[in-house]
Amino acid sequence: MQPLLQQMQATVEETILHMWVFKGCKDFYLRARMLSSQIDNLTEYHNLNSQLLQSTSLEKSMLPKAMLMVPDENKLPGSGYWGV
């Protein structure tokens, strides 16, 4: 990106603006990748939990409350990242 800005003879303000946009897009996609991996992990946990309940013929109401909690609740999407 820097060579293109130099070729366009961009001002310092334009260069800074382009860098901020680039950094914002990079942060957005990194966060999206993190969220998709967390959703994938939670889906895998849910599927495994469902399979175990079916194979043992238990019901959710029979399980202790600690087993029904989602693991790593503090790492779920929107749990404090970027002030959310």
Cα-based distances in Å from 59 to 21, 54, 68, 76: 50, 8, 11, 25
- Local confidence pLDDT in tens for the 84 residues of the chain: 677 767 777 787 888 888 899 899 999 999 999 999 888 988 888 888 888 888 887 777 777 777 777 666 666 666 655 444
Tokens read off for 30: 């990194």
The number of domains in the chain is 1
The residue segments making up the domain with residue 52 are 2-83
